């Protein structure tokens, strides 16, 4: 068994907005092993994005504990042990694609204190943007912008990649294409990936394991291992095994109500 990279024990989260605190997560237990591709699947508003932000130390849990690579989430954040890809690319419009990718090297002088594992241009090539190094975000399509943001998350060579519905705002064709690219990048880098999605086929296609969440407050309803062969090709989506998995996940989601 591979070492555990991310461990959440009995994690609860309530937002103190308005008169009544909103319970986003209730007693979540979850473990992600090194090199895994794990998806968090659930309906909108089930707190899966919140969980990702707790792991990224952007938010603090109301109760419970989160361990990232044997330490606190804060330690992992300060050590840059994870990259984060948001639903919207969040690129800096005044920076070229290359300059956006190198931003994490500049902040805190990281690039001066560490040997950068990747060159920004190589990463742009890895995400299929060779030749667009000097383009500004406004000159790129939504899918291309999201590729830049993936390259940006990878530039410090983090062992973990946290992805919050990164392809949710894209059209299906672009999304399928980027799913394929992501699997390729995963294979090339060996990064542990924790991926939030509300698309059942996407979760099945990408992941080794899927955690199914209930609606608010979010709880882990079940954990499903996806034993489709790797590397996966789009044709796998037409196989009975794939359909069996999506059907199982759909049933699991239905149980949550």
**Tokens representing residue 200 in the block:** 């059942």
SS3 content of the chain, % helix, strand, coil (to 5): 40, 25, 35
Comparison of 92 and 187: residue with beta carbon closer to another protein: 92
Q: Which stretch binds another protein (CB under 8 A): 14-22, 27-35, 88-96, 248-256?
A: 88-96
Considering only 2, 65, 78, 230, the residue that binds another protein (CB under 8 A) is 78
Q: Report whether 58 contacts 82 (CB < 8 A).
A: no
Residues composing the chain: 257
The yes or no reply on residue 91 touching another protein (CB under 8 A) is yes
Q: Which stretch binds another protein (CB under 8 A): 11-19, 52-60, 229-237, 239-247?
A: 52-60
Comparison of 58 and 187: residue with beta carbon closer to another protein: 58
Q: How far is the CB of 202 from another protein (least distance, A)?
A: 20
- Helical H runs in 4-131? 48-55, 73-78, 97-101, 103-106, 110-113, 120-126
Per DSSP, the residues of 217-241 read SB-EEEEEE----SS--GGGGGSHH
Q: How far is the CB of 200 from another protein (least distance, A)?
A: 25
Comparison of 104 and 143: residue with beta carbon closer to another protein: 104
Q: Say which DSSP state 80 is in.
A: T
Angle at 169 between CA 29 and CA 133, to 5 degrees: 105
Q: How far is the CB of 28 from another protein (least distance, A)?
A: 21
Q: How far is the CB of 58 from another protein (least distance, A)?
A: 5
Instruction: Find, among 150, 145, 217, the residue nearest to 189 by Cα.
Output: 150
Q: How far is the CB of 149 from another protein (least distance, A)?
A: 9
Q: Which residues bind another protein (CB under 8 A)?
A: 53, 56-58, 77-78, 80, 82, 84, 86-94, 103-104, 106-108, 110, 136-138
């Amino acid at each position: 068994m591979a070492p555990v990279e991310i461990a959440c024990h009995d994690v609860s989260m309530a937002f103190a907005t308005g008169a009544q605190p909103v319970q986003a997560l209730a007693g979540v237990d979850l473990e992600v092993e090194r090199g895994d591709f794990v998806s968090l699947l659930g309906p909108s508003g089930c707190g899966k994005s919140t969980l990702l932000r707790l792991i990224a130390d952007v938010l603090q849990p109301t109760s419970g504990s989160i361990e990232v690579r044997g330490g606190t989430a804060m330690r992992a954040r300060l050590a840059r042990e994870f990259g984060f890809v948001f639903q919207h690319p969040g690129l800096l419009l005044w920076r070229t694609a290359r300059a956006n990718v190198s931003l994490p090297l500049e902040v805190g002088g990281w690039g001066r204190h560490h040997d950068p594992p990747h060159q920004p241009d190589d990463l742009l090539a890895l995400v299929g943007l060779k030749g667009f190094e000097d383009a500004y975000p406004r000159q790129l399509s939504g899918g291309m912008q999201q590729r830049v943001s993936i390259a940006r998350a990878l530039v410090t060579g983090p062992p973990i990649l946290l992805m919050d519905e990164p392809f949710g705002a894209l059209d299906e064709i672009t999304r399928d294409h980027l799913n394929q690219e992501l699997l390729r990048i995963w294979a090339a880098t060996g990064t542990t990936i924790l991926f939030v999605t509300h698309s059942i086929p996407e979760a099945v296609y990408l992941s080794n394991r899927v955690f199914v969440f209930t609606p608010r407050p979010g709880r882990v309803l079940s954990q499903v291992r996806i034993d489709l062969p790797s590397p996966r090709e789009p044709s796998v989506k037409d196989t009975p095994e794939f359909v069996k998995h999506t059907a199982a996940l759909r049933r699991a989601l239905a149980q949550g109500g």
